[in-house]
Structure 1
Amino acid sequence: MDLPGAGDWLAWVGERCEGALADAVREVDTVKAGGSATEVLAAWNCAETAIANADAVALWAEVHPDAAVRDRADELSQQVQKYVTELSLDRDLYAVFAGLAAEGLDADATRVLEHTLRDFRRSGVDRDDATRDRLRELSEQGVRLSQDFGRNIRDDVRSIRVAPERLAGLPDDYRAAHEPDDDGLVTLTTDYPDLVPFMTFGADREARRELTLAANNVAWPANDQVLQDLLAVRRETADLLGYDSWPDYDTEVKMIGSGRAVADFIDRISAAAVDRAGEEVVVLRDRLRVDEPAADTVTTYDSRYYGELVRREQYDVDGQVVRTYFPFEQVRQGLLDVTGRLFGLEWTSVDRADAGTWHDDVASYDVGLEGRHIGRIHLDLHPREGKFKHAAQFDMVKGIAGVQLPEGVLVCNFSRGLMEHDEVVTLFHEFGHLVHHVLAGQGDWTRFSGVATEWDFVEAPSQMLEEWAWDADVLATFARNAAGETIPADLVAAMRRADHFGKGLYAAQQMSYAARSYFFHAGPHDDLTAYGDELQSRYSVYPPLEGAHMHCSFGHLDGYSSGYYTYMWSLVIAKDLFSAFDTDDLFATEVATAYRDKVLAQGGRQDAADLVADFLGRPSSFDAWTAWLAE
């Protein structure tokens, strides 16, 4: 895509989106004119390509430094979603597809037809006029509420001010970057480069509590009512479509299959992790009592700090030493080298003037495979005002063979200096989505392009790629300190041993998040704070934080809706996928190529369960995850 660079972004965003929508309208007219199944599906594919190009405008609402461009992108995104809703409720359009015969179509075209008919049914196209009108209204309300929910999080950076001595325990580079102001105080924000190191190394327990409370109250109180309204929209939508609940509607097109199965999965993981989590929290509590003899409860703001101390004192892993081996620039280049070697990809840097990107921070690379140019990626990895606050991959262009090359954007919020190792792991994880997007963007059908699998599988490939950020031989290729010394293999081994501590705690806390996601959607609740605290008490070993309203800053309640269980569900699959690799040679060509071609490159051409079975030679199981939890 030709981006405007220093040009008029406001005009370009509008022209790009509205031009793509005009293309879609023309292609839909061709579909409505009818023809053979092959002709109709070809025109529909062109329409879906144009819609995807228009829908990519949502990216600029999350990353562009100009608030006017972000606001315009939000407006345009509403137009796109309104058009998509109109199509989904268009009976004349539906009748064309319903009248097509699948005979003579290949497997991919047949799958497109089946999924298209399924989507029409799920939209309510076959309902009466009044119901369809209400569904249309609900869809438009849902889009606006989702945008409000995300914008409130994106625009709300909280902070605390503390005396310099309350930075005790923090690394020298962190302290140097946080000089006192004219009042002699240091400002700490809820942005990741401030938050993560402070929660890991900050010895001042009260300051950790203050910053945790600030982070948990981002977008409070604004998002409390926004979320209630969004939940109500989803409940009514599911009811009008004949589903017992929103989770039942949401899971119909996911691997897990039903809302009840989500609740059962949450309970299964919780039961598997409960003993280990209980043992681990006792270890944290005992270490906490060394500093606070009267303490009887480990809190959320203790967990990361005392987890770090336990790893340092009992596993001989000092996070402040570890981070010296991970300067940001080295990690970024190392990531490219590792993934290039693993998947046979070539990354060629593109000058910003040629890439025309939206900010000086953005690094762009053309992607090659076996001598062919197959796409472009953009890495936007540091925080700034008005930017998306978490970590995610966004589509810029869906790849369609012979039509357009895939382009994806990785949006994160890392420090420009030294990285914590868990941030390195996060970068590998998120980059996995980007690789998936590009490799799966070489086919003929927009419907299957990129990360187009069932939503509860999308995290599995990225979670599996995290394993390469834990391998001593892999890390030795890029992890070096200022003296040029490579990270020692025995330190990496100790890091791996230390990483086993806390797996039960992690699983339990993940289920508390998954429970919020599921049960918030399963039925109405007058007080989301109180109900969230109840779920926290039920599933997590950490008590609720008094005065916190974390659901307001829990961005996944929008995009993942009732499906936050996805992260653990995908991890079960990721551990199974990784079992096919030789841990003594993570770059073994045969298995890496098979994984690339049978899983990543397929996009949505098959059900995820079939992709996994094709690669593993058997259906996926819990065995590898269970063994991992027991290590």
Structure 2
Amino acid sequence: MSESPQPLTLPDAEEFEAWVRERAAAGMAQASELVAALKADPTASTVTALESYDRAVQHLGEVAAMGSLFSNVHPDAGVRAAAEEAESQVMRVLTELGLDRELFEVVAGLDGAGLDDAAARLLAHVRRDFTRSGVDRDDATRARITAVRERLTELDQEFSRQLREDVRSIRVAPERLEGLPEDWRAAHPPEDDGLVTVTTDYPDAVPTRMYAHDAQVRHDMAVAFLSKGWPQNDAVLKEMFALRHELAGLVGHSDWASYDAEVKMIGSGPAIPAFIDRIADAAEEPMRRDLAVLLERYRADHPDAEEVPAADAQYYSEAVRRERYEVDSQEVRRYFDFTRVRAGLLEVTARLFGLRYEPVPDAVTWHPEVTVHDVHDADAPAGTPPFGRIYLDLHPRAGKYSHAAQFTLTDGVAGRRLPEGVLVCNFSRELMEHDHVVTLFHEFGHLLHHVLGGRGRWARFAGVATEWDFVEAPSQMLEEWAWNHEVLATFAHDAAGTPIPPELVERMRAGEEFGKGVYARTQMFYAAMSYWFHTERPEDLEAAMRRLQERYAPFGWIEGTRMFASFGHLGGYSSGYYTYMWSLVIAKDLFSAFDEDDLFDTEVARRYREAVLEPGGRRDAADLVADFLGRPSTFESYEAWLAR
């Protein structure tokens, strides 16, 4: 392997499948050679053995990453299907490795004396992984574990595929779209029958629910958006929950959440609902305060109302921000032209973290809209090779992943492989909502973590390979830069080139503060679904969702909707959606080390880069945070933010 970017695009599904077979076979061969070599030479050093194992797993991981990426972004349905099979094939191989007793005995017998901290950590993690995989179980149990894991991979792919492909729409007379931005309406002309098609993709769904004056249009869009994946994913999710529970039992755990939490910061399954309730209790009064303001505004139009319907919540939240805080999102979006925002994001993060992004215009990609940049240290001499590469795939299209996420392409290892990551989002090609600008900063935080943490010795600890409930903290903290006037003024300009006014940003921030209690309780509703669906495995998911919505959520159920069927985090995050709020608590504490009046303070940013981002998973997340803050993380910054 060489430390250089890897070629991406293959012309068709047949060649892609051939490539996958070759890479998967090579990965298995490496693992087999490892076992054979160690048996033949019992004096082989532990470090040599660990390097061989790390390389074998990384090789397989790259094929799985490619499969995950292409199945979500490639415009060719044949390639997407081949990519899913690639991922499945690698998951089967990795399951075999994890249950290989001969390999486990070799690893268990390695001498850990004299290893440096990172190598000792790797050895401990590999041994732990083998135990968690069930390698010490009897033959029949291991065979069942293999079957369950293979089926779970299939289910996860089916769940994701339904979410990608189930794009719904409503058809509306153009006059019923009054209130939506003029540029949006210009981009959605009536069709031959005089109606406008409005899809459930974010660039349509979000502004429709936020701006359309017609309440029925808002309601119809809410129903369409919150019904995606139904009924197809109902059975998929039930089987997924049942098999995860069975798998946890097969390896000695009481339930999936306990198994999953064992290797996270939170430590145990029962700690998850305790954390959910702690946040819910802290957010109770802020939520009631938010809802009182919202209801007051809603009653101006509906005097006898007792509550704000969920389908109207975004529209009236926007009305409150516009009228009470003098923040009109349609005025705000004039300052966020997509092209300038993308360029500004790169300029801001380059300045902050001491980086230089060099466009790679001749890079081969899977779609013409994808842009590619090599990442350098700002002070690196001209001609110095990059230390990472990023791909930005930021607009919606048919068959593409419909949310926002960072995908790994390759994990970085010093001297062996460059870290390469991909940002996959679905933003407008023209003017952006500020909320989407915040999302872009958030997701770019993951990308930075991936490339900056990709210069260590071990692939296992590369990039965001920290505890999963810490992963969101760096990206959530970077959102703060999207709310600062000094930062925004560098790229947020209207068509005439006038920067966004500081007083507008101040009002935007005040408007954003409104609703954080509602936000926190909504997140706890999602977290509760994530946890209790896995521990209780209800037969009627809709009824269970509605019970949890009544307990935690600020708004009631919209009749006919089943949002759990499109709750994509039930796939990758499984029972751990609480991690978003857990990470936010840490993010608020991390941000307390920065001076809000000087967010371009490169000294603090450099210390943060070196203490938190660059180590990747080489140390426990709690230790990384303590190193940066000079103390253990606390709940105080979050609590103060929520209460103010």
Q: Does 1:586 align with 2:592?
A: no
Aligned residue for 2:238?
228
**1:28 is aligned to 2:26:** no
The 8 Å contact of residues 252 and 258 in structure 1, kept in 2 or not, is answered as yes
Aligned counterpart in structure 1 of residue 519 of structure 2, from 500, 506, 510: 506
Partner of 1:95: 105
- Written as runs of structure 1 = structure 2, the 5 A alignment for 1:111-190 is 111-190=121-200
What is the CA deviation profile of residues 389-444 of structure 1, one whole-angstrom value per residue up to 9, with x for unaligned ones? 00000011111111111110000000001001010000000000001100011111
SS of the residue aligned with 1:256? coil
- How far apart are the structure 1 equivalents of 2:445 and 2:373? 15
Q: Which 5+ residue runs of structure 1 have no aligned equivalent?
A: none
Counterpart of 2:41? none
Superposition map of 1:205-244 within 5 A = 205-244=215-254
Query: Which residue number corresponds to residue 433 of structure 1?
Result: 446
Residue type of the partner of 1:218? K
Residues 4 and 12 of structure 1 are in contact (CA less than 8 Å); yes or no, is this contact kept in structure 2? no
Report the equivalent of 2:387.
Answer: 374
1:17/1:55 contact within 8 Å kept:
no
**How far apart are 1:87 and its partner, in Å?**
0.5
Counterpart in 1 of 2:507?
A: 494
CA distance in 2 between counterparts of 1:462 and 1:423 reads 14
**Residue in 2 that maps onto 1:346:** 356
1:246-285 equivalences in 2 (<5 Å):
246-285=256-295
Q: Contact conserved, 1:245 with 1:523, CA < 8 A, in 2? A: no
- Alignment partners' CA distance in 1, 2:414 and 2:320: 52
Q: 2:537 aligns with which of 513, 524, 540?
A: 524
What SS does the corresponding residue of 1:161 show, helix, strand or coil? strand
Unaligned runs of at least 5 residues, structure 2: 39-43
State the Cα distance separating 1:286 from its structure 2 match: 1.5
CA positional deviation for 1:292: 2.1
Percent identity (aligned)? 56
Report the TM-score, using the length of structure 2 for normalisation: 0.96
Q: Could you give the per-residue CA deviations for residues 313-365 of structure 1, whole angstroms, max 9, x where no partner exists?
A: 001111110000000000000000000001111011111xx210000110100
Q: How many Å apart are 1:2 and its aligned residue?
A: 4.1
- Among 536, 555, 560, the alignment partner of 2:568 is 555
Structure 1 residue 106 corresponds to structure 2 residue 116 = yes
Deviations 1:139-197 (A, max 9, x none): 00000000000001101100011111111111111111111112111111000010111
SS at match of 2:558: coil
Aligned equivalents of 1:596, 1:533: Cα separation in 2: 42
In 1, Cα distance between equivalents of 2:616 and 2:306: 49
- Structure 1 residue 22, shift from structure 2 partner: 2.6
CA offsets 1:42-85 (integer angstroms, 9 cap, x no match): 11121122112111221100000000000000011110000000
Q: Give secondary structure in 2 for the equivalent of 1:355.
A: coil
Aligned AA (2:307) = T
CA distance in 1, matches of 2:15, 2:467: 33
Do 1:508 and 1:540's aligned partners in 2 also have CA atoms closer than 8 Å?
yes
Tell me, in whole angstroms, the C-alpha distance in 2 between the residues paired with 1:197 and 1:89.
49
- Offset at residue 205 of structure 1 (A): 1.2
Q: C-alpha distance in 1, partners of 2:32/2:248?
A: 30
Q: Does 1:323 align with 2:316?
A: no
2:466 match:
453
Deviation at 1:521, TM superposition (A): 0.4
CA distance in 2: counterparts of 1:383 and 1:124, whole angstroms: 41
Report deviation, 1:15.
4.1
Give the structure 2 partner of residue 51 of structure 1: 60
Distance (Å, rounded) in 2 between the aligned partners of 1:282 and 1:250: 38
Q: Alpha-carbon deviation of 1:297?
A: 2.0
Range that drifts further, 15-24 or 379-388: 15-24
- CA shift for structure 1 position 30: 3.0
The whole-number CA distance in structure 1 between the counterparts of 2:627 and 2:21 is: 41
The offset of 1:4, in angstroms, is: 5.5
- Kept in 1: contact 2:468–2:579 (CA 8 A): yes
Contact 2:388 2:419 in 1 (8 A): yes
1:31 and 1:96 in contact (8 A); partners too: no
What per-residue deviation string (whole Å, max 9, x for no partner) do you get for residues 534-568 of structure 1? Answer: 10010012011111111110000000000000110
**Is the Cα–Cα contact under 8 Å of residues 18 and 54 in structure 1 kept in the other structure?**
no
Correspondence for 1:407: 420
Counterpart amino acid of 2:217? Answer: A
Task: State the AA in 1 paired with 2:166.
Answer: D
Give the counterpart letter for 1:3 in structure 2: P
2:457 aligned counterpart, secondary structure: coil
TM-score normalized with structure 1 length: 0.98
Cα RMSD, aligned residues only = 1.1
How many residues matched? 628
Aligned-residue offset at 1:12: 4.6
